Amino acid sequence: MKIPDAPMEERPHAGLLLQRVREIAAGKLAPLTEKIDREGYYPREVLQALGAAGAYRVQMAAPRGNADYAAAIQAMAEVSSVCMSTGFMMWCQNACSLYIEQSGNAALIERRLDCHINGDTLGGTGMSNPMKTFAGIETLLLQGRPVHGGYVVNGTLPWVSNIGPGHYLGAVCEIDNDPSRHVMFLLDCSAPGVTLKHCPTFSGMEGTSTLSVRATNLFVSEAEVIADPVAPYIRRIKGAFILQQTGMALGVVQGAIDSMWAVEQQLGHVNRFLDNRPDDLQCELDDLKQRILRLAATPFESDGEYFLDVLDARAHCGELSLRATQSALLHQGARGYLMNAAPQRRIREAHFVAIVTPAIKHLRKEIARLSAQELPA
């Protein structure tokens, strides 16, 4: 496999982007973190500033962007170390741009892509249900019927983030109740027939504008189709889709490590009896990050071993997030347990890394299945 993780000096666009993203994270985002977590504030202005800074554009192929998935992941990590809810919404936005760009649908690209990657319009992804369906974990929740010029879609997706009136999301419906026929499309939240509802309160990620989406006789035109058939399209994009999520974990783990060092001078004499000390975690994180950035250099690689490596790196992200954030709370003690303290918030954020699709259990199921295929019996 090619290993082109070019150092930052050979990727000046990435250095510049990360500098701008750090400024936004420290300036606009940091003062809002508690409001996002505790009051469910949706940081639209931050998401749009990140778009203006180029955080969604950088992964796009030239001439729109630099085809630099590693930079997109690093930008997400910078934001997630301050507020992982916002980092997750960057992923939602990036996943949606991946869907549109890779659709090859000129009408859809023309209408949506540039305003989306600038952050002028915002969108999400309702792909947990299809991903779990294709892994044999659940059944498809949206049903479609072909009609002249498109499809009529019915059904409900229970949880979709980074959406609201005027937003949109990538979704998949089953056609004519045939589990082998699917169409992927961009669902416009403001289209007639779409109802958005608030979800019950979550223990974290409340500022992510996570809503249920109900489609009642929603007409989806051919101009909004992302993929038909869906299976080869998903096979092509799923490495990129999953790899991008690792930015959340890289950030939340770095934030946890930093909060351990913050109390080292005062509490190091007793914290040294704890497991998962910050220097050990930093080594593990740095190795994982290098591995992810290498994988991100070829996000559309179709080789089975490559995809297994992506799944394994993503599972490591979930596991390390849980371990590092728990250790950060043990290191900080009561100050980290205060309701406005970052360590307790990060524990809830880390649990989201572990349960958002593909959850750790889903990843392990896929790894077991693919390993059985890859290895001779």
Ligand X SMILES: Cc1cc2nc3c(=O)[nH]c(=O)nc-3n(C[C@H](O)[C@H](O)[C@H](O)COP(=O)(O)OP(=O)(O)OC[C@H]3O[C@@H](n4cnc5c(N)ncnc54)[C@H](O)[C@@H]3O)c2cc1C
Contact 251, 79 (CB under 8 A): yes
**Whole-number Cα distances in Å, 116 to 163, 167, 169, 188, 294:** 13, 10, 11, 13, 27
Which one, of 232, 363, 250, lies nearest residue 296 by Cα? 250
Nearer residue to ligand X within complex by CB, 50 or 262: 50
Contact 267, 110 (CB under 8 A): no
- Burial of residue 64, with CB atoms counted within 10 A of its CB: 0-12 exposed, 13-18 middle, 19 or more buried: middle
Nearer residue to ligand X within complex by CB, 154 or 282: 154
Nearer residue to ligand X within complex by CB, 66 or 125: 125
Contact between 359 and ligand X by CB under 6 A: the answer reads yes
Joined together, the tokens standing for residue 223 give: 């101009």
Nearer residue to ligand X within complex by CB, 73 or 141: 141
- Cα 45-49-51 angle, rounded to 5 deg: 120
Nearer residue to ligand X within complex by CB, 8 or 199: 199
Task: Give dist(CA 310, CA 238) in Å, integer.
Answer: 10
Contact between 159 and ligand X by CB under 6 A: the answer reads yes
Minimum CB distance to ligand X, residue 372 (Å): 21
Joined together, the tokens standing for residue 336 give: 């980290």
Joined together, the tokens standing for residue 306 give: 């490559």
Minimum CB distance to ligand X, residue 96 (Å): 10
Minimum CB distance to ligand X, residue 366 (Å): 12
Of 183-202, which residues contact ligand X (CB under 6 A)? Answer: 202
Nearer residue to ligand X within complex by CB, 151 or 241: 241
Task: Give dist(CA 314, CA 308) in Å, integer.
Answer: 10
Nearer residue to ligand X within complex by CB, 11 or 182: 182
Contact between 356 and ligand X by CB under 6 A: the answer reads yes
Question: Exactly one of 82, 205, 256, 315 binds ligand X (CB under 6 A); which one?
Answer: 205
Joined together, the tokens standing for residue 341 give: 């303290």
* Number of residues this chain uses to bind ligand X (CB under 6 A): 20
Contact between 138 and ligand X by CB under 6 A: the answer reads yes
Question: Exactly one of 355, 369, 371, 374 binds ligand X (CB under 6 A); which one?
Answer: 355
The contact mask relative to ligand X for 76-115 (x = CB under 6 A, - = no) is ----------------x-----------------------
Task: Give dist(CA 128, CA 126) in Å, integer.
Answer: 6
With contacts defined by CB under 6 A, name the span among 10-18, 124-132, 146-154, 229-237 that binds ligand X.
124-132
Question: Exactly one of 126, 155, 170, 343 binds ligand X (CB under 6 A); which one?
Answer: 126
Q: How does DSSP assign 225-282, residue by residue?
A: EEESS-HHHHHHHHHHHHHHTHHHHHHHHHHHHHHHHTTHHHHHHHHTTSSS-HHHHH
Of 223-262, which residues contact ligand X (CB under 6 A)? Answer: none
Nearer residue to ligand X within complex by CB, 277 or 348: 348
Minimum CB distance to ligand X, residue 127 (Å): 5
The residue ranges that bind ligand X (CB under 6 A) are: 92, 124-128, 138, 158-161, 202, 205, 208, 210, 355-357, 359, 362
